[in-house]
Amino acid sequence: MAETSNLKKSNLSQQSSSNPALNNLLKKSNAYLNKKQINLIKDAYIFSNESHKGQLRKSGEPYINHPLSVASILAEMKMDAVSIAAAILHDVVEDTHVSTKDIQDSFGDEIAKLVDGVSKIDNIEFLSRDEAQAENFSKMMLAMSDDLRVILVKLADRLHNMRTLDCLSKDKKLRIAKETLEIYVPIALRLGMNKLRLELEEISFKTINPLRYKIINKSVENHKGNKIKFLADINEKISARLKDLNIEAQIYSRQKNAYSIYKKMKKKKVSFNAVFDIYGLRVVTNKIDDCYRIFGATHNLFKPVPGKFKDYIAIPKSNGYQALHTVLFGPNAIPIEVQIRTKEMDHFAESGIASHWQYKTGGHSSAQAYARDWLQKIIEMKQNSSNSIDLLENIKVDLFPDEIYIFTPKGEIKELPYRSSIIDYAYSVHSDVGNRCTAAKINNIDVPLSTMLSSGQTVEIITTPIGKPDPSWLEFVVTAKARTNIKSYLKKMQTEQASDLGLRILDKSLHDYGTSFTEIPYTQIRRLLNEYNLKSEKDLFIEIGLGNIVPHFAAKNLAIKKNFVKQKYHDWVSKVLGSKKIENISIKGTEGLVLNYAKCCRPIPGDNIVGLTSSGNGFVVHRSVCNNIKKTKVKKIFIEWADEVSGEYQAQIRVYSEKQRGVLANVAGVISRLSCNIENVKFDEVQNPYASFVFTIDVKNRKHLADVIKELKKLKNINKVMRTIG
């Protein structure tokens, strides 16, 4: 055993001298890790090197150099030995014969879980690349919720892959660069890892837009000469003032990277010359109190630009970033941005959560608290997302770099992404508050629920027990929490409505064959469920209710055998259907998402109606006289309005009039007086001196519409009023 160990150490010593990547890693690790931790890293290298033996990267170099480089990036962040060992081993499960169990046996549960979290999902066939990407991303996010180091290893892995893109094909380079900008750059930003983020942005931008990258960098260089002297003058004046005030601080020049400049030009729709904060100053001091003193000193020296001050010390960004930001008018009224922060804040601004990872204690810090809050949101998104693609899209939506700060009526602060609405705020308070939201006030003034919020506003949400999410909310919400909760609620509501409607429609179809669902033996039902690959009767009702299964065909299959036997377990169905003989299916107007009313003929209560199946969307209700009904070959579902129908329904009327001033206003006045909302008005000139208007209005039923038409006909200069027919 001793001889084997000595032999391994001897081989490792030889490899270290011949492998620059290994030598670089050990040099960085030795600077802050103890001997036992270094030995763990060496053991991981020996294991990984043996596993990857003979494998080469696209560049032709030994594959082991990649995991060593990833580990080296983590060592630069001063991550713990477990993270570095996991980085060295992160590809062995995916690319070699080694299993997760082998890692567990050799290195323990902690490292095995990290490696498994970073590894892609294998042995599963996906329908598309997007689905595979989404599944892998979902797996990584959930692993990250158990151990934050998973994402740190993955970000380091992505950074090294980006550094070595040149050996790949153009299409693959573009795909990886776009994926990096869409997913990994925002995650690095969310975790406060600014240094790593900037490099990922720079390489991605250079790969996707090489010409723009080159032009912007050239423009920066051309402006650099004048700006260096300009910054030096301001630096000198601020330094002198701080010395007079006995404040210790270091002042550094800062330059935006090419991608940040490009984003600003694109967002503001301005030229390069209009971007004023390409260069700036960063003042780093010792204490928070000194930050505010420096802020006051700079404002005494130079006039501040109104509205450009941000206090991220009092209210940190969502990733834990803290600093004071201000824009000053320098010499010749040239604006210059100044960032003021402590040394600790500066260190965190560069490395984010990695700077607070205490490898000896496991790293419990405020930075991790911010990250864990975000991870909790991801877990909630996962629970409310129907699939991994949906989850990935929701997380993309949630990764907004800009924030606003809203006050609750009690004075608490809620942080939300830029462009958030009242509904986004309501869901940030609690899911139930969002689901039951019916009205809102901003600074005690009633506002629509779609209102976009601004920092500093106080928002009060008004809820009612009967409140429920509206599908239209999805058009203006921006937060993932709001979007996933609304979708989840609507999906549940649609499922319940589809189940009820599907059962009624199926029983109506069975009635045409002289039977009902309660009279069908279970063996017949089970056979049908197997045919459609469904688990239960409720699944069958839902699929029929959503229009995915034609009820006539399902009923025909169930009614093949005669002499049906009533089953006791169908008693619950009887309660739903009742003992009443079923003729047509009654429409109450409360079916919601599974019933749609045709735009071509706009049926309203009192009309003779029929239904057509619409796959995935339930049923579409048409008027019996609709031309589209006469043309279709789809089997009709015979339906009728219930005795009591709720809600309002759109109808269209055409008004023929003389072209006289005030006619349109008079018509609108009558419609409004009869409690109808005008959804749309279309004007068609027929022939002078006559005109034609088409009004789309909301009515309760045929009688309500008839009253409107009757009153309109009484108006002066009105020649004819009629309802349109599809």
With bands split at pLDDT 50, 70 and 90, how would you rate the model's confidence at 533? confident
Is domain 2-210 given the CATH code 1.10.3720.10 in the classification? no
Q: Catalytic pick from 43, 95, 131, 519?
A: 95
| 48-55: long-range contacts, CB 8 A cutoff, minimum separation 24 | 48/88, 48/89, 48/91, 48/92, 49/15, 51/92, 51/96, 51/97, 51/98, 52/91, 52/92, 52/95, 52/96, 55/95, 55/96
Q: What is the pLDDT of residue 492?
A: 80
Residue 482 class from Cβ within 10 Å (0-12 exposed, 13-18 middle, 19+ buried)? buried
* Helix/strand/coil percentages in the chain, nearest 5: 55, 15, 30
Q: How far apart are CA 655 and CA 717, in angstroms?
A: 11
Tell me the pLDDT tens digit for each residue of 231-259. Answer: 888 999 999 999 999 999 999 988 888 99
- Ranking 372-381, 667-676, 689-698 by mean pLDDT, the lowest is 372-381
Which secondary-structure segment (H or E) carries 503?
helix 480-511
Active site residue 95: yes
**pLDDT higher than 60, residue 509:** yes
Percent of the chain with pLDDT over 90: 31
Q: What is the mean pLDDT of the chain?
A: 81
Tokens 């209700």 -> residue:
621
Confidence of residue 567 (pLDDT cuts 50, 70, 90): very low
Which CATH number applies to 369-486? 3.10.20.30
Report which residue type is found at 382: K
**How far apart, in Å, are the Cα atoms of 411 and each of 408, 457, 526?**
5, 10, 58
**Burial class of residue 71, CB neighbours in 10 A (0-12, 13-18, 19+):** buried
Residues of the chain with CATH 1.10.3210.10: 2-210
In the chain, CATH 3.30.70.260 sits at 649-723
**718: helix, coil or strand?**
strand
- Report yes or no: 483 and 394 within 8 Å, Cβ to Cβ: yes
Weakest-pLDDT range from 67-71, 84-88, 179-183, 232-236: 179-183
Q: Tokens for 235, please give them.
A: 């630096």
Kindly give the pairing relationship between strand 335-342 and strand 279-285. parallel
What pLDDT is stored for residue 387 in this prediction? 64
Q: Report pLDDT for 527.
A: 83
Judged by average pLDDT, the poorest of 494-503, 589-598, 606-615, 697-706 is 589-598
Q: What is the dihedral of CA 362, 364, 370, 376, to 10 degrees?
A: 60
Answer whether residue 472 shows pLDDT above 60: yes
What topology does CATH give the domain 221-356? Beta Polymerase; domain 2 (3.30.460)
Identified catalytic residue from 61, 94, 512, 583? 94
pLDDT digits (tens, 9 = 90+) for 281-300: 999 999 999 999 999 999 99
Distance of alpha carbon 683 from the chain centroid: 41
* Cis upstream peptide for 689 (omega within 30°): yes
- Superfamily for the 649-723 domain: ACT domain (3.30.70.260)
pLDDT 10s digits, 438-453: 999 998 898 889 899 9
pLDDT over threshold 90, residue 145: no
Q: Beta-strand (E) ranges in 634-677? A: 637-641, 649-658
Q: Would the pTM of this model clear 0.95, i.e. be above it?
A: no
Decide: helix, strand or coil at residue 650: strand
Q: What is the pLDDT of residue 564?
A: 43
Q: What is the pLDDT of residue 423?
A: 95
The residue-averaged pLDDT of 322-341 equals 89
What is the rounded CA–CA span in Å between residue 707 and residue 700?
11
| Residue 224 pLDDT | 76
**What pLDDT score was predicted for residue 144?**
59
Of 316, 369, 371, which is closest to residue 342 (Cα–Cα)? Answer: 316
Confidence of residue 620 (pLDDT cuts 50, 70, 90): confident
Band (pLDDT 50/70/90 cuts) for residue 202 is very high
- What's at 642, amino acid-wise? A
Delimit the CATH 3.10.20.30 region(s) of the chain. Answer: 369-486
Domain with CATH 3.30.460.10 in the chain: 221-356
pLDDT of 138? 63
User: What pLDDT sits at residue 568?
Assistant: 38
Q: Which residues of 582-602 are buried (b: 16+ CB within 10 A; e: fewer)?
A: eeebebebebbbbbbbbeebb
Q: Specify the range with the lowest mean pLDDT, choosing from 99-103, 112-116, 150-154, 373-377.
A: 373-377
Q: Could you report the per-residue pLDDT of 344-382, keeping only the tens digit for each? A: 899 888 877 776 554 344 444 555 566 666 666 666 666
Q: Is residue 244 annotated as part of the catalytic site, yes or no?
A: no
Structure confidence at residue 703 (pLDDT)? 93
CA dihedral sign, ordered 209, 215, 218, 223: negative
Asked if residues 709 and 721 have their Cβ atoms less than 8 Å apart, the reply is yes
Q: Report CA dihedral (10, 14, 20, 24) to the nearest 10 degrees.
A: 30
Res. 7: pLDDT tops 60: no
Query: What is the number of other CB atoms lying within 10 angstroms of the CB of residue 679?
Result: 12
CA 354 – CA 148 distance, rounded (Å) = 10
| CB neighbour class for 289 (10 Å; exposed up to 12, middle 13-18, buried from 19) | exposed
Q: Are 516 and 577 in contact (CB under 8 A)?
A: yes
DSSP 183: I
The Cα 610–Cα 229 span in angstroms is: 79
**Residues 694, 684: contact at Cβ < 8 Å?**
yes
Q: Which of 132-146, 276-290, 468-482 has the lowest mean pLDDT?
A: 132-146
Confidence of residue 488 (pLDDT cuts 50, 70, 90): confident
The pLDDT value recorded for residue 378 is 65
Residue 714 makes CB contacts below 8 A (sequence gap 6+) with none
Predicted confidence at residue 566, as pLDDT, reads 42
